[in-house]
Amino acid sequence: MDAAIERYETDPRRYMLRQLPEFQKMFLYASDEIRATKWHWLNYLFQQLPPRFAAESIVSALLDCEMQIDDLGKFYIDQVASIRDREKDESDYQAILQIFGQMFAIRQVFSLLWTRPPSFVREPAGRTGKRPELLVSSGPNRFLFEVKTPSLLDHQRIRSGRGIQIPGRGFSREMVETLSTEPMTLPRDNPIKDFLISAQTKVSDFDNAPGANLLIIVWDDHIYEPITALVNQRSGLLTPDSYFRDKDGNAVVFPSIDGVIVLRQLNYFMSGLAERDLTDRLHLFDFGDERALPNVFFPTPWGRPVPDFILAGLRASDYRDETLSRMAEYRCQEVVLWISV
């Protein structure tokens, strides 16, 4: 661990913590960094000894990351602690959720059943300095991961307050206007387009090598939204009829991205931070087990095969899977009608 954390070895507050020494030092460092701010979204969770359960879960996840890459736990703490001093600013809250999305996905990548002993590099630099989230080398294979989490708070409020939602762009504007005179929830697909552009720029900065390049998107429980945005036959970003076209009118492709995986986790972060019941999770960084609703994998039409052990470890079912398609929330949706009860 970094010297800034190791100095807590002699901190007398450690005796108020029942966890292992590594946890004690990491928690005290995180607590002091967050509490040193004038205002912070996580201050309440980190100001108490013994730690509140949500803070304990966060530090345990940080330690898991630290065990795989030196100072990665400290890196995440410093990022979170730097989002500070703007009381109840929701853009700061969403920035914290985005860091948690990175931690959540990368922590799970560390635990995959790699066929060869893996080595991990955080934010490796490509030829021109572009940096995806993580590089994993396993034998002759190289895997690049980019992790993205959208800002969904405003969208969630709009979605919960309107009776009609149009998740995709299959309908023309004129047709949409005939559905209702009331305001409707419109697609939240432009962030996904931007994520694809960013990931393509980063992973294409590396020389070709055996393996795969993956974009991981952390979404909330409304999983039909990214499914519709990516593979809706009339407008999906991974289809020939994508709404995203180049200046010649051709669908834009992302040739260096071999697959997209969407994780449905944002709700657990938000509920866990509010100390609400998580129902089928033990804590806000729990990835779930075989009984939990699956995540979704989208192979790109131009991409290389993604190894099964990656999909299994990320609990990601192919969006074309017959079992998955039996559930309405895992299918593309043209119109969603919300009924108040």
Q: Which pLDDT score, from 0 to 100, does residue 337 have? A: 84
Average the pLDDT over 70-79 and give the result: 96
Residue 49 has pLDDT above 60, yes or no: yes
Q: What is the mean pLDDT of residues 303-323?
A: 96
Residue whose entry in the numeric block shows the structure tokens 């949500």: 54
Show Cβ contacts of residue 118 under 8 Å, excluding neighbours closer than 6 positions: 136, 137, 138
Query: What's the confidence (pLDDT) of residue 341?
Result: 56
pLDDT, tens digit, 9 for 90 and up, residues 97-112: 999 999 999 999 999 9
| Mean pLDDT computed over every residue of the chain | 93
C-alpha span between 170 and 168 (Å, rounded): 6
| Whole-number percent of the chain with pLDDT over 70 | 99
* Beta bridge partner(s), residue 324: none
- For 238-273, write each residue's pLDDT tens digit: 999 999 999 999 999 999 999 999 999 999 999 999
Q: 99: helix, coil or strand?
A: helix
The predicted pLDDT at position 169 comes to 87
- Mean pLDDT over 47-63 rounds to 94
| Calpha distance 7→102 (Å, rounded) | 27
Confidence of residue 214 (pLDDT cuts 50, 70, 90): very high
Look at residue 171 and tell me whether its pLDDT is greater than 80.
no
Averaged over 310-335, what is the pLDDT? 92
Q: Looking at the predicted structure, is the pLDDT value of residue 176 above 80? A: no
Using alpha carbons, list the distances in angstroms from residue 182 to 36, 163, 164, 318: 47, 8, 8, 36
Sequential DSSP letters for 199-239: HHHHHTTS---SEEEEEEEEE-S-THHHHHHHH-TTT-TTS
pLDDT (0 to 100) of residue 155: 95
pLDDT at 229: 96
pTM of the full structure: 0.95
The mean-pLDDT minimum among 1-10, 35-44, 224-233, 302-311 falls in 1-10
Give the Cα separation of 205 and 202 in Å (integer): 5
What is the predicted pLDDT for the residue at 325?
85
Position 96 confidence tier, pLDDT thresholds 50, 70, 90: very high
DSSP letter assigned to residue 245: B
Q: What is the pLDDT of residue 105?
A: 98
> With 60 as the cut, is the pLDDT of residue 79 above it?
yes
Give the pLDDT of residue 340.
63
Q: With a cut of 80, say whether residue 20 has pLDDT above it.
A: yes
Q: Between the CA of residue 86 and those of 39, 41, 98, 155, 196, what are the distances in Å? A: 7, 9, 17, 22, 31
CA angle at residue 178 from 184 to 219, to 5 degrees?
Answer: 30
pLDDT, tens digit (0-9, with 9 covering 90-100), for 115-127: 999 999 999 999 9
Kindly tell me if the per-residue pLDDT of 308 is higher than 90: yes
pLDDT of residue 23: 94
Confidence of residue 182 (pLDDT cuts 50, 70, 90): confident
